[in-house]
């Protein structure tokens, strides 16, 4: 009932339990949502959302369909202009200093890459060129992400003809291409089969040791394995920000806590 807490503005400092690497790296803020709102006419897709993700944290961004997760992520990445508020990546204001922020940021949009006629290889080359990588670095990085995301067998097939799982992995490869230290991943496991979900989870656990990650997901069982902290939104508002253990403080399971916090007042 009373879990409508706001652990802290600077995030993660409450991580006292076993999931406590939250403050690693001295609490440098890498992802900052500062009073973000998005209005479509009279409708608020997001309303006054504030939180901070510090260096080295892996934070799960939860909420029912339509809660405003993708909208918040798009504002954080600079793809969507907020109606109110401010988004910062690695200290860069994404309204005024977007390119500097984008250099530090990898973003997996909600439906993966939108270039059905390109092959994974040409897409990665395209993004590498757009980011101004040298020929040498381009080759090296494409090799690394192709291996990391296991794209070898589909490298020269049209993206539009790939399965959802492969398309998601192409999106991941593109997000990781320039070796960003901040990742915003919108449902990276959506549409994947259980084996693919395992692979993504393992990859994220590996990657997450050096990076700052905000990821949205519907799979609550994944949260405990991947994230040290949870931010939960409902109907465009933040309703919880705390550790996984705090979310499940009644030990009734995360789905119970999720249900309680997202149906209150209905």
Ligand X SMILES: Nc1ncnc2c1ncn2[C@@H]1O[C@H](COP(=O)(O)OP(=O)(O)O)[C@@H](O)[C@H]1O
Binding interface with ligand X (CB under 6 A): 40, 45, 63, 65-71
Residue 174 or 217: the one with the smaller Cβ distance to Mg ion is 217
Q: How open is the CA angle 79-93-216, to the nearest 5 degrees?
A: 50
Residue 70 or 262: the one with the smaller Cβ distance to Mg ion is 70
Q: Which tokens hold the place of 188?
A: 């990276």
Of 2-10, 67-75, 87-95, 143-151, the window that binds Mg ion (rule: CB under 5 A) is 67-75
CB atoms inside a 10 Å sphere around CB 16: 12
The partner in contact with residue 71, picked from Mg ion, ligand X, none with C-beta cut-offs of 5 to 8 angstroms by kind, is ligand X
Place of tokens 């790939």: 162
70 contacts Mg ion (rule: CB under 5 A): yes
Residue 47 or 69: the one with the smaller Cβ distance to Mg ion is 69
Place of tokens 């040791």: 209
What is each CA distance from 8 to 14, 65, 86, 243, in whole angstroms?
Answer: 8, 26, 18, 11
Smallest separation, CB 69 to Mg ion (Å): 5
Of 15-23, 103-111, 138-146, 194-202, the window that binds Mg ion (rule: CB under 5 A) is 103-111
CA-to-CA distance for 76 and 33, rounded, in angstroms? 7
7 contacts Mg ion (rule: CB under 5 A): no
CB atoms inside a 10 Å sphere around CB 39: 14
110 contacts Mg ion (rule: CB under 5 A): yes
Size of the site for Mg ion (CB under 5 A): 3
Name the residue whose CB lies closest to Mg ion. 70
Residue 70 or 228: the one with the smaller Cβ distance to Mg ion is 70
Smallest separation, CB 265 to ligand X (Å): 17
174 contacts Mg ion (rule: CB under 5 A): no
Starting at the edge strand that comes first in sequence, how are the strands of the sheet with 105-108 ordered?
105-108, 182-186, 212-216, 58-62, 229-234, 237-243
Residue 110 or 235: the one with the smaller Cβ distance to Mg ion is 110
Q: Which tokens hold the place of 104?
A: 């530090």
State the distance between the two ends of the chain, measured CA to CA, in whole angstroms: 14
- Give residues in contact with Mg ion (CB under 5 A): 69-70, 110
């Amino acid at each position: 009932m009373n879990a409508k807490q706001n652990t802290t503005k600077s995030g993660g400092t409450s991580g006292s339990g076993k999931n406590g690497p939250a403050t690693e790296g001295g609490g440098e803020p890498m992802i900052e949502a500062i009073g973000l709102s998005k209005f479509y006419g009279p409708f608020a897709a997001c309303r006054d959302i504030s939180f901070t993700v510090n260096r080295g944290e892996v934070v799960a961004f939860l909420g029912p369909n339509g809660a405003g997760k993708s909208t918040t992520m798009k504002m954080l990445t600079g793809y969507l202009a907020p109606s109110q508020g401010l988004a910062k990546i690695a200290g860069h204001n994404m309204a005024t200093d977007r390119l500097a922020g984008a250099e530090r940021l990898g973003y997996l949009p909600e439906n993966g890459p939108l270039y059905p006629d390109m092959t994974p290889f040409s897409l990665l080359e395209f993004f590498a060129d757009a980011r101004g990588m040298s020929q040498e670095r381009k080759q090296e990085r494409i090799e690394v992400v192709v291996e990391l995301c296991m794209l070898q067998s589909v490298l020269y097939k049209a993206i539009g003809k790939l399965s959802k799982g492969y398309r998601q992995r192409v999106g991941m490869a593109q997000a990781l291409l320039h070796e960003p230290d901040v990742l915003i991943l919108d449902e990276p496991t959506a549409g994947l089969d259980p084996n693919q979900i395992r692979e993504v989870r393992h990859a994220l656990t590996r990657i997450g040791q050096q990076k700052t990650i905000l990821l949205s997901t519907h799979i609550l069982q994944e949260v405990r394995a991947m994230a040290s902290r949870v931010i939960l939104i409902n109907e465009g508002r933040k309703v919880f920000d705390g550790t996984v253990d705090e979310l499940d403080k009644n030990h009734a399971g995360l789905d119970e806590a999720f249900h309680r916090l997202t149906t209150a007042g209905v």
